[in-house]
């Protein structure tokens, strides 16, 4: 692509790209990590083969796009211009899909989304209930773009906001706009972005640095990954606008090493932006010079904490430092630094394009705009969901998420990753915004939303999080290092049926102590999963302690496996998979589990068709 020499040339290029757009049909297949895992690469390969075989390569376009969000039904695709939405596509469907495009777009019925309630087939993506309630201002373009082609982004209006800012805004006006929009940090804490930027501008120290935190460490959250994979230029544009507003010359994007595809797409995007004259010296012929560096994390959860992340960029161990001084005062190499999350940066061009007031009109009194959640766990429609702030949990779970699978009962929703807390099913009408969640003992966090049904044990879940946090505690400060270990030990004891009533008091006391005395955000929020489950599910803890029972039948020391002789048809399937040769019985006769040998791995339940394996 040619180098753009002035902000106006962006608009010209966009018009030119629009004009050259053909009316050729285009099959755009989601090639995000989720759909790739479901076999998208094979689907694309067989589509390509089919097109070549029928000599249609110049008649029908084929495109790999970013994540559409509906991972559950992957691989998904949209056939343009009719915008027909197909889900659960496999290699063998290539023939039918190409044939349908050639036969006047008569859709392939079996690949259309089937509404589980009405049984009807749905033709378009926006009519699928999963999408119908969403407001996708950050993720909307993911399904349209080839993330490795900057022209696709420019065609949908990309870099328009940057051009606008460079010609019509002073840096102060950009900060003012961001402030007025009410945008709050999407990384979890929810600090007002404009206020942070303003604080940095007060410092006279130069140089200033910009950092994009893409160290999405919270288990159960993957929206930053999807945005970087699917629309990396939107993040880059936001960062460049930030560079203009903050008068910085360099930015660092810190991406987790666990996201290889995001790293690849982002580095391609940075190179393309450099070639197009959007990064480097004299951006778009102006006086502004700006560079973005990509830094890969090396696998440490604590590096999501801003001071630890800065240390990691500097090549040191990722240990946090006490604040103040805050990074805006003393950040990277001791210089003023603004750190924002991926989605925060991607929101900036939207605010510039649509206006601060438009953005502020979405959401609730104090939480503006949209929030992206990863809706996962025991839920029918798993995937990424972008909704206006203030939507209720009920709408999220039943309307968008399609309810709980297998007719099970909702028990709790864990929001905000290991720093967040569990919200019980009884509070399902809670509106989702920063304040409401904090009040309920949880937090927005990065937006991970793990749904749990009656088969999830809350003690086990708390134990799981403590194990995670104990492993990931960097060890610098005592309360977090020792405290997380002690909490884990106590929870282990309880889940083994060896807990005492005093343990519950101890969990509570120690939890608050860790919260109040830890050095960084990791320790200060670490006890949340324990404290919130204690608050809402104390009866489950008590059942483990008093009755030595795990009501959800999860904790291995407290359960026994048995085969119901009246149901077992003696098919031998369980005998074959049993890891410890604990199942006895001849073929076609009811089997029996030798409880002394059984290691409770659950393999038999997985394979038993008549559901004869019972857990007590």
Binding positions for another protein, rule: CB under 8 A: 33-34, 36-38, 71-72, 74, 216-222, 225-226, 257-260, 295-301, 312-318, 374, 376-378, 382-383, 414, 417, 448, 450, 452, 456, 461, 464-465, 468, 472, 474, 577, 579, 601-603, 606-607
* Radius of gyration, CA atoms only, the chain: 26
| Nearest one of 17, 609, 5, 11 to 285, comparing CA atoms | 5
Please state the closest distance from residue 55 (CB atom) to another protein, in A: 33
- Tell me how far apart the alpha carbons of residues 416 and 514 are, in angstroms, rounded to a whole number: 18
Encoding tokens for residue 301? 């959860």
Compare residues 436 and 449 and give the one whose CB is closer to another protein: 449
Cα pseudo-dihedral 597, 601, 602, 603, rounded to 10: -90
Beta bridge partners of residue 262, listed in sequence order: none
Cα pseudo-dihedral 334, 335, 336, 339, rounded to 10: -70
Q: Buried b / exposed e across 436-460, counting CB within 10 Å, b at 16+?
A: bbeebbbbbbbbbbbbbbbebbbbb
**Who's near 122: CB < 8 A, 6+ residues apart?**
85, 112, 113, 114, 115, 128
337 burial (CB, 10 Å; 0-12 / 13-18 / 19+) is: buried
120: alpha, beta or left, given left = phi > 0 and alpha = psi -120 to 50? beta
Please state the closest distance from residue 316 (CB atom) to another protein, in A: 7
Beta bridge partners of residue 250, listed in sequence order: 209, 291
Q: How many CA atoms lie within 13 A of 78 on its CB side?
A: 20
The answer to whether the CB of 319 falls within 8 A of the CB of 480 is no
Q: In this structure, are strands 383-388 and 370-377 parallel, antiparallel, or unpaired?
A: antiparallel
In whole angstroms, what separates CA 343 from the centre of its chain? Answer: 11
In three-state secondary structure terms, 30 is strand
| Nearest one of 158, 223, 226 to 186, comparing CA atoms | 223
Place of tokens 């209006």: 157
**Who's near 92: CB < 8 A, 6+ residues apart?**
46
Tell me, what DSSP letter sits at residue 207? -
């Amino acid at each position: 692509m040619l180098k753009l020499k002035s902000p106006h040339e962006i608009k010209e290029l966009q018009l030119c790209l629009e004009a050259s757009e053909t009316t050729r049909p285009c099959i755009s297949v989601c090639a995000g990590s989720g759909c790739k895992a479901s076999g998208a690469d094979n689907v694309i390969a067989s589509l390509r083969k089919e097109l070549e075989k029928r000599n249609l390569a110049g008649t029908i376009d084929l495109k790999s796009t970013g994540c559409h969000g509906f991972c559950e039904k992957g691989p998904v695709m949209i056939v343009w211009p009719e915008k027909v939405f197909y889900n659960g596509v496999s290699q063998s469907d290539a023939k039918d899909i190409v044939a349908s495009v050639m036969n006047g777009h008569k859709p392939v019925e079996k690949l259309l989304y089937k509404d589980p309630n009405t049984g009807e087939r749905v033709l378009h993506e926006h009519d699928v209930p999963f999408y119908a309630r969403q407001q996708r201002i950050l993720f909307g373009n993911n399904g349209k773009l080839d993330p490795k082609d900057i022209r696709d982004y420019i065609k949908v209006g990309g870099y328009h906001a940057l051009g606008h800012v460079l010609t019509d805004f002073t840096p102060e006006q950009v900060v003012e706009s961001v402030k007025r929009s009410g945008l709050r940090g999407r990384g979890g804490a929810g600090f007002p972005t404009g206020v942070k930027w303003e604080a940095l501008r007060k410092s006279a120290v130069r140089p200033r640095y910009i950092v994009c935190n893409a160290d999405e460490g919270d288990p159960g959250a993957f929206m930053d990954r999807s945005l970087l994979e699917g629309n990396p230029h939107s993040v880059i544009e936001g960062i460049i606008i930030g560079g203009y507003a903050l008068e910085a010359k360099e930015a660092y994007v810190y991406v987790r090493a666990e996201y290889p595809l995001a790293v690849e797409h982002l580095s391609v995007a940075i190179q393309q932006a450099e070639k197009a004259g959007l990064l480097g010296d004299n951006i778009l012929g102006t006086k502004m010079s700006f560079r973005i560096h990509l830094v890969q994390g090396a696998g440490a959860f604590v590096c999501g904490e801003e001071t630890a992340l800065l240390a990691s960029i500097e090549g040191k161990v990722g240990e946090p430092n006490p604040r103040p001084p805050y990074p805006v005062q003393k950040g990277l190499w001791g210089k003023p630094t603004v750190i924002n999350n991926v989605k925060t940066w991607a929101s900036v061009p939207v605010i510039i394009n649509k206006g601060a007031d438009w953005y502020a009109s979405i959401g609730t009194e104090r939480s503006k705009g949209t929030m992206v959640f990863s809706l996962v766990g025991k839920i029918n429609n798993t995937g990424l969901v972008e909704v206006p702030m203030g939507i209720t949990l009920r709408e999220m779970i039943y309307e968008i998420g399609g309810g709980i699978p297998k007719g099970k009962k909702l028990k709790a929703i864990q929001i905000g990753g290991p720093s967040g807390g569990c919200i019980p099913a009884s509070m399902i009408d809670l509106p989702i915004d920063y304040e409401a969640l904090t009040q309920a003992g949880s937090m927005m966090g990065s937006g991970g939303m793990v749904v749990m049904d009656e088969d999830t044990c809350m003690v086990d879940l708390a134990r799981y999080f403590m194990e995670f946090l104990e492993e990931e505690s960097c060890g610098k400060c005592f309360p977090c290092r020792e405290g997380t270990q002690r909490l884990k030990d106590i929870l282990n004891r309880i889940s083994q049926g060896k807990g005492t009533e005093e343990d519950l008091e101890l969990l509570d006391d120690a939890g608050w102590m860790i919260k109040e005395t830890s050095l960084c955000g990791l320790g200060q929020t670490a006890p949340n999963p324990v404290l919130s489950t204690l608050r809402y599910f104390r009866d489950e803890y008590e059942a483990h302690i008093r009755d030595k029972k795990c009501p959800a039948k999860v904790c291995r020391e407290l359960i026994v496996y048995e085969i119901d002789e009246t149901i077992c048809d003696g098919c031998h399937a369980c005998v074959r998979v049993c890891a410890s040769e604990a199942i006895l019985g001849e073929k076609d006769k009811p089997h029996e589990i030798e409880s002394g040998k059984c290691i409770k791995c659950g393999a038999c339940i997985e394979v038993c068709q008549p559901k004869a394996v019972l857990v007590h």
